[in-house]
Each structure stands twice: as structure tokens, then as C-alpha cells.
Amino acid sequence: MKKNFSKAIVLAISFFCASSSLSAQDAVTPYLTTDELPNLIKCLPPPPAFNSPEFANDVVRYQWGKTQRLNPERAAIAQRDAIWSFENLFAEFNIPFGLTISREDTPEIWKLLETSLTTTDQMRVEPKAFYKRLRPFEMYDEHLLSPDTESDVRGEGSYPSGHTSRGWTTALLLAEINPANADTIFARGWMYGESRVIEGAHWQSDVDASRVGASIGYAALHTSPAFLEQLAKAQQEFLEKTGQLSAIRPVPAVPAASGNNRVYRIDGTPAGENARGLVIMNNKKVVVK
């Protein structure tokens, strides 16, 4: 009975977290349910023990993060990355992606990103509640780089990092839509995770595990037919918006009635002997005047 009650609580928290950034009219149905997604408690190792070399690295990286705050430009990026919203997250990828992403101008890309992240957001809830790891700023009783966000994250488990998971999943999605820009897309995705260390909101090991967890969730997305269908629409939209689609659409060529008629219009349909303009004749493009 207790186990079933605990699972009900986790599912309720999962639903709340997945829908918290959405208004009532924008409710999103995930591609996969929690039960259909891999369990990160089973997939990933637990957070490092206090006496481990991995935690020693966490401490060193926490101090490194505080030095990065002295760089105003990098600090500003980390503060932007701390905002928990799809709008802010996707905007950070506009330049590396090569196209401005918005609900109005790129609806198919937006739908893919929004629904995919709503799906994979579910994966972080149970391990956070299970491990209850203190965040760095809580352990050291210090402030975040963005102190106004402390009340939002205080008391919520540090392992894994939801922000990092969102950032890395977004990079994976956008790189599949525009593989030509994969290097810059992934570079920005990597920075998104580093921002959590600079903020003081997460340990380095939280971030490292979250990139792996995001990749696990991304693989699971590819088992959903609805996801694959929307991915194809997003890829098509990207090509259209960036002018990479040819104006010539492929259509089935209709065989000529006569064996001697080998003249076709540019769209592949029979042109006849009186054809004029650009045609295909004997498998070659020619201009008939």
C-alpha cells in the first residue's frame, strides 16, 4: 500500500512538472508515458559519495564555477540559462541552429521540441525524489548567481539536473533537424549544462549524468511513431524556411503512348511532339523553341 501511494505521489509530481510551464490551453500530450520511458535510477549510477574522487572533482568545479561569475558575459549567459521556460531555452539556440524558433513562425519545430521535452521531463522526477541530493549552494549555505531563483530550486533534489537535460535534449533534436550546424548546436548545449555549475545550482556530476540521461531519453523518443512523424515535419519545415527545397517536386513519370515520344515536361509528365520550352528529351534537358 505504501509503495503504491509513493508511486502515486511521484506520478502527480511528474504531471505537475511537465505541465507547469504550459498554460491550460497549451496542454501537451507526451509521446511516451512515464512507464514507457527508461528509469534513470536503474540506468545511471548514484551521486558520488562524499569521500570519492568524483565528489572532490565536484568541489573543485564548484569553485571553478564561482570564478566564471567574474566574467560578465559568461555570467549573463548562465543567468539566462537559469530561466525555466521553453521560450527562453529555444531562443538561446536560434543563432547556432541558424533559424529563429517560435511558436508562430516555426510551428512544426516548436511542437517537436515542446512535446519531446514535456516527455523527457518526466524522467528526472523520480531520481530527484529518490536521492534527495543537496545542491551546492545549499551545502555551502551560499547564494546562487541568480538569487531570485533560489526559492524555486531549494529543497528539490540536485541529481539529476533538469535544466541540463532540457538543454542537451534540445541540442540533440536541433542537430537532427539541421546536421550541418551540429557542432555549434552541441557547443551551446554543452554550455547550457556548464551554466548550472556556474549558477551554483548543480554539481558537475549532476550535469554529467544528465547529459547521459538526456541521451537515453532521446533514444526512447525514437520508439514513438508520433515523434518520428513530427520529426519529419520539423525537418521539412526547416528546409522550407531556409530555402533548401527545390521548386521542382517529384511526380511519377507517365509512359508516353508512343514508343517514339520521349519528350517530357520538367515535372516528368509527357510533353508530346509540340512541346516548347525546357523539356527532357532522351534523358537530357533541352530547350525547344
Q: Give the span between the Cα atoms of 136 and 185, in whole angstroms.
A: 28
Flag whether pLDDT at 147 surpasses 50.
yes
Q: Is the pTM of this model over 0.85?
A: no
- 206 with 163: CB under 8 angstroms? no
Give a three-class secondary structure readout of 54-82. HHHHHHHHHHHHHHHCCCHHHHHHHHHHC
C-alpha cell at 156: 528539490
Q: Give the span between the Cα atoms of 74 and 69, in whole angstroms.
A: 7
pLDDT for the residue 111: 98
Alpha helices in the chain (DSSP H): 2-19, 40-43, 53-68, 72-81, 86-91, 94-97, 107-120, 125-131, 136-139, 150-153, 162-177, 182-199, 204-221, 225-241
Asked if the peptide bond before residue 160 counts as cis, ω within 30 degrees of 0, the response is: yes
Q: What are 111-124's pLDDT values in tens digits?
A: 999 999 999 999 99
Mean model confidence pLDDT for the chain: 87
Lowest mean pLDDT among 37-41, 54-58, 93-97, 275-279: 275-279
Flag whether pLDDT at 10 surpasses 70.
no
Flag whether pLDDT at 25 surpasses 50.
no
Beta bridge partners of 216: none
151 Cβ contact list (under 8 Å, min separation 6)? none
Task: Give one DSSP letter per residue of 71-117, joined into a string.
Answer: SHHHHHHHHHHT---HHHHHHTTHHHHTS---TTT-HHHHHHHHHHH
243 Cβ contact list (under 8 Å, min separation 6)? none
Percent of the chain having pLDDT more than 90?
A: 75
Q: What is the DSSP letter of 121?
A: G
Q: Give the span between the Cα atoms of 76 and 179, in whole angstroms.
A: 28
Flag whether pLDDT at 255 surpasses 60.
no
C-alpha cell at 18: 511537465
pLDDT for the residue 13: 44
Q: pLDDT grade, residue 126 (50/70/90)?
A: very high
72 Cβ contact list (under 8 Å, min separation 6)? none
Q: Give the span between the Cα atoms of 29 and 19, in whole angstroms.
A: 10
Which among 78, 197, 79 is positioned nearest to 136, based on CA atoms? 197
Which among 231, 27, 186, 42 is positioned nearest to 123, based on CA atoms? 42
Catalytic residues, which ones? 163, 196, 202, 206
